[in-house]
Structure 1
Amino acid sequence: MLFNSYPFIFVFFPLVLIGFFLIGARSPRSAAGFLALASLFFYGWWSVKALPLLLGSICVNYWFGLRLTPSPSREDRYRKTLLIIALVVNLGVLAVFKYANFFLENVDAGLAAAGLPQIDLVHIVLPIGISFYTFTQIAFLVDCWQGKVHERSFIHYVLFVTYFPHLIAGPVLHHAQMMPQFNSPATYRINANNIALGLGIFVFGLAKKMLIADPLGQYADMMFKGVHEGVLPSLYTAWFGVLAYTLQIYFDFSGYSDMAVGLSLCVGVQLPLNFRSPYKSTNMIEFWRRWHISLSTFLRDYLYVPLGGNRKGPTRRYINLFLTMLLGGLWHGAAWTFVLWGALHGFYLMVNHFWNAKVRRGKTETTWYGRVAGWFLTFLCVMIAWVVFRADSMSAAIEIYKGMLGMHGAPVSAFSEFRVPFRKPEFFQTILVGLVICLALPPTITLDRWIPAVAGLAGRPRLQRLATWATGLGCVYLFGLCVSKFGSYSPFLYFQF
């Protein structure tokens, strides 16, 4: 069930919202249980076969969590051993379902290269959302071991893991952000302002997906799939195709995150911010503080810091940065293209930290032209890395890079090799609108300043009401425009990760 589908918008979510508050008025605990069951139904709609794995993961990790919590009756050595076992179990399950095919394919390729008999490959289906709910629970287990978890309700834990707005494609949640909200009586009372704001944010996220990400995705797919099938891209085709994908993945994923935040806010639960206008960044360090914030935070707290962070000298810091991003790339998918994407970003961060330490030497002031140059270089580096992230293979990525360098020519009849409407006005209009939103407008989270009321109009009720009505009508128009685009299969890109 997609967020951008008739069943979800007109059946599932209204029933869940009504049922949640009706039950919550009498019993908050029962309402939490109802929301957990609704979340399991939402997941089961995707794949009933994957549901037992999710339930088993929840039960096993809850059991581990109870026993990892510090207690006078438990020795630290015992708890540390148990933590290692719990991490091995979680990472082992993730490795089997997500990386077994990748490993066997590489073994098979190695055997073929050596002239040895190949093995019969067993294709293992990747359960949707396994990376997100596994990482969420790993963070929970580590925090239990450190004594940071005080919530013991099984219902709230099930809801924390399965909560449907985030379950399929994030953000990666932290128990400290969510469990107290599930335990708060205010969560189970209707709040008209939260519902109005939540619906507004949802509509804007839906518009990002349907009106910008999907149209640009059609053009990006034509270029990337064409290259995979053997068509060599010209200079213009390569650059515009990569730019289209650069905007597509941002509006697709940030659109999903906005929709998740909006849906959650309707039921009184605030999800963490996952994007803060990342394409405005003027360096790679800033980019990773703005892009997929929940994953960046997880990698920092549970991988970079345990590796030693920056506590063991600059050389070790650079190694830790590179390893963290390398594993972050592998987390996104079982392919060498994702590994290279992570390696590129690890290299970018190493160069950025080296520049700050050796050239800038702690200086914080930057001229306007320095900021512009920094933004251009950062955006260019991000685009270059997106090529291997999206490419179907390393050979396809190499051909696209050659095209970007003009090695496949730059014909006057640009894009003719694909016979696609790159030159149609709507393509460039969508590109322009996407760039304006990315580079000139504030992040969606700032909508809390003007929905349902406009900041700065306090004391002027007529203008405030007029602005609220205008905003509401604008959201209704956007919503209708998005619904008119329903009908084709349009999953979110991060579902595959």
Structure 2
Amino acid sequence: MSILVNYFIGTELNMKANNVIRRKVLLIFGVLFNLGALGYFKYYDFFIENINYIFKTNFNLLHIMLPLGISFFTFQQLSYVVDSYHRKNLNYDFLSYCLFVTFFPQLIAGPIVLPAEMLPQFESEKNKKVNWENMNRGLYMFSIGLAKKVIIADTIAHFANAGFDMMASLNFVEAWLTSVSYTLQLYFDFSGYCDMAMGIGMMFNIILPINFNSPYKSTNIQEFWRKWHITLGRFMTNYLYIPLGGNRKGELKTLRNLFIVFLASGIWHGAGWNFVIWGMLHGICILIHRIWKNTERKLPKLIGWFITINLVNIFWVFFRAENLQSAVKVLKGMVDISSLIYMMTHLEKIKEMTLDYRTFASGNMGTITNIIVLITSMLIAFFFKNSFENNKNIFSQYIEWKIAFLFSLSILLFNNISVFLYFNF
């Protein structure tokens, strides 16, 4: 139904509707239809829960199952409707449009693609023939993403899961291990999915947009958002920030528009107050950064990076926590200096103090192995080239060995069943 309604609206806007009022009616209907469907399936229960809490009512929750990929295909179809309204010549056949919405590599967790960059690729006759160079590049990109997910993300997940889900309280070391592990897990898990999506797309001669560009190397919060989930930022800029006025209506309204964008980004990620808080915190930091930048003062890059990565790490706690109580538990441990002082003055009791956490975090490979993977992941995220940069120069005599090595190592860890984190959103 979503595909049929949006294709009909887009076709009308692209071919037939010249009346200004009719075009606006079609646009408004398309926007309301898409946001209404997303709101009903994703936020209905959250809205009713809060109504019941505030007004002491007892409305029933529907416990609605989310349609597969609705957060992503809703945004993609919104872009189709809006771009058709702006006459961007998106007059493509129905089968190509169906493929644009349901293209399986990136359907469930992105990157978020735009019709103008995808529809021409689907209709190109050149792309319907096997290209062995793209096959090679795609397989290499896929193997990197698979290794990121299976070898790194799923291994360090044990530390994050232990702290967030299994411990009633955390000391200073446990809390920081928990938060840093999730910060790295999320990056390798999500960027791993996107690498795999780009790799599969490349095998079909379809080029998907880059979604990550070493975000944890950023020296300020604005740079972080230019490098993290790039296609979400692009969508929010084109279809929310600019329509609100962007930076064209004075500094105060620019700050307002920026805050709305990050609040909307938080809400889009999930139906919970923790996501609202996460979005608001990033919005506040973006405003502070913009005000600071307008003063033309600069921080040394190392200090800027240290502040940025710590803020991002702390904010991810709200993103990961099942509820606010869980977030407070981790944050409380992160500032519990007294437990750190006690551990430093009672070294003989460290094992005793961390026994439960080490038990929960050991996983199948043991705590020491997991710590080695955690340290390795930090080095990769902070100092190494990312997969997109590596893919530019893959043609060497060792490419087959690289693919074989990454695949083999990943397959050895296939006994662990896990899903991609962004399947939740």
When the two structures are superposed, what TM-score results if normalisation uses the length of structure 2? 0.93
Residues 12-50 of structure 1: CA deviation (Å, up to 9, x unaligned) = xxxxxxxxxxxxxxxxxxxxxxxxxxxxxxxxxxxxxxx
| Residue 243 of structure 1: how far off its partner (Å) | 0.2
Alignment of 1:189-208 (within 5 A): 189-208=129-148
1:424 pairs with one of 367, 379, 385? 367
Q: Percent same amino acid among aligned pairs?
A: 41
Q: Given that residues 141 and 195 in structure 2 are in contact (C-alpha distance below 8 angstroms), is that contact kept between their aligned partners in structure 1?
A: yes
CA distance in 2, matches of 1:259, 1:377: 31
1:250 pairs with one of 184, 187, 190? 187
Q: Given that residues 232 and 408 in structure 1 are in contact (C-alpha distance below 8 angstroms), is that contact kept between their aligned partners in structure 2?
A: no
Q: Indicate how the Cα distance of structure 1 residues 407 and 437 shifts in structure 2: closer, same or farther if over 3 A, else same.
A: closer
Q: Given that residues 132 and 167 in structure 1 are in contact (C-alpha distance below 8 angstroms), is that contact kept between their aligned partners in structure 2?
A: yes
1:372 matched residue in structure 2: 302
Structure 1 residue matching 2:60: 3-state secondary structure = coil
2:346 matched residue in structure 1: none
1:317 matched residue in structure 2: 254
1:457 matched residue in structure 2: none
Q: Does 1:395 align with 2:325?
A: yes
Alignment of 1:53-452 (within 5 A): 56-69=1-14, 71=16, 74-112=18-56, 117-227=57-167, 231-360=168-297, 370-406=300-336, 409-410=339-340, 411-412=342-343, 413=350, 414-420=353-359, 421=361, 424-451=367-394
CA distance in 1, matches of 2:234, 2:36: 23
| Residue 408 of structure 1: how far off its partner (Å) | 7.3
CA distance in 1, matches of 2:338, 2:21: 61
| Residue 189 of structure 1: how far off its partner (Å) | 1.1
| Residue 330 of structure 1: how far off its partner (Å) | 0.4
| Residue 445 of structure 1: how far off its partner (Å) | 1.2
Q: Given that residues 90 and 115 in structure 2 are in contact (C-alpha distance below 8 angstroms), is that contact kept between their aligned partners in structure 1?
A: no
CA distance in 1, matches of 2:90, 2:171: 58
Q: Given that residues 70 and 145 in structure 1 are in contact (C-alpha distance below 8 angstroms), is that contact kept between their aligned partners in structure 2?
A: no
1:477 matched residue in structure 2: 405
| Residue 120 of structure 1: how far off its partner (Å) | 2.6
Q: Does 1:496 align with 2:421?
A: no
CA distance in 1, matches of 2:263, 2:355: 37
Structure 1 residue matching 2:268: 3-state secondary structure = helix
CA distance in 1, matches of 2:391, 2:129: 19
Q: Indicate how the Cα distance of structure 1 residues 70 and 285 shifts in structure 2: closer, same or farther if over 3 A, else same.
A: farther
The aligned amino acid for 2:237 is: R
Alignment of 1:26-41 (within 5 A): none
| Residue 433 of structure 1: how far off its partner (Å) | 1.1
CA distance in 2, matches of 1:449, 1:262: 13
CA distance in 2, matches of 1:70, 1:147: 9
The aligned amino acid for 2:172 is: L
Residues 452-488 of structure 1: CA deviation (Å, up to 9, x unaligned) = x2xxxxxxxxxxxxx42x2311220210111121133
Q: Indicate how the Cα distance of structure 1 residues 449 and 85 shifts in structure 2: closer, same or farther if over 3 A, else same.
A: closer
CA distance in 2, matches of 1:120, 1:251: 39
| Residue 121 of structure 1: how far off its partner (Å) | 2.2
| Residue 429 of structure 1: how far off its partner (Å) | 1.1
Q: Given that residues 15 and 91 in structure 2 are in contact (C-alpha distance below 8 angstroms), is that contact kept between their aligned partners in structure 1?
A: no
| Residue 289 of structure 1: how far off its partner (Å) | 0.5
CA distance in 2, matches of 1:162, 1:78: 29
Q: Given that residues 87 and 138 in structure 1 are in contact (C-alpha distance below 8 angstroms), is that contact kept between their aligned partners in structure 2?
A: yes
Q: Given that residues 92 and 119 in structure 2 are in contact (C-alpha distance below 8 angstroms), is that contact kept between their aligned partners in structure 1?
A: no
Q: Given that residues 138 and 202 in structure 2 are in contact (C-alpha distance below 8 angstroms), is that contact kept between their aligned partners in structure 1?
A: yes
Residues 299-330 of structure 1: CA deviation (Å, up to 9, x unaligned) = 01101111111111111111111111001000
When the two structures are superposed, what TM-score results if normalisation uses the length of structure 1? 0.80
Residues 404-459 of structure 1: CA deviation (Å, up to 9, x unaligned) = 111673352253353435793222211211111111111211233332x2xxxxxx
| Residue 97 of structure 1: how far off its partner (Å) | 0.1
Structure 1 residue matching 2:355: 3-state secondary structure = coil
The aligned amino acid for 2:2 is: S
The aligned amino acid for 2:14 is: T
CA distance in 1, matches of 2:52, 2:330: 27
The aligned amino acid for 2:156 is: L
| Residue 151 of structure 1: how far off its partner (Å) | 3.1
CA distance in 2, matches of 1:285, 1:210: 30
Q: Given that residues 96 and 119 in structure 2 are in contact (C-alpha distance below 8 angstroms), is that contact kept between their aligned partners in structure 1?
A: yes
| Residue 279 of structure 1: how far off its partner (Å) | 0.4
Q: Is the deviation greater in 155-164 or in 393-402?
A: 393-402
| Residue 169 of structure 1: how far off its partner (Å) | 0.7
Q: Given that residues 220 and 244 in structure 1 are in contact (C-alpha distance below 8 angstroms), is that contact kept between their aligned partners in structure 2?
A: yes
Residues 108-161 of structure 1: CA deviation (Å, up to 9, x unaligned) = 22244xxxx523322111122100000000011000000013332111100011
2:415 pairs with one of 462, 487, 493? 487
Structure 1 residue matching 2:313: 3-state secondary structure = helix
Q: Which runs of 5+ in 2 are unaligned?
A: 344-349
Structure 2 residue matching 1:98: 3-state secondary structure = helix
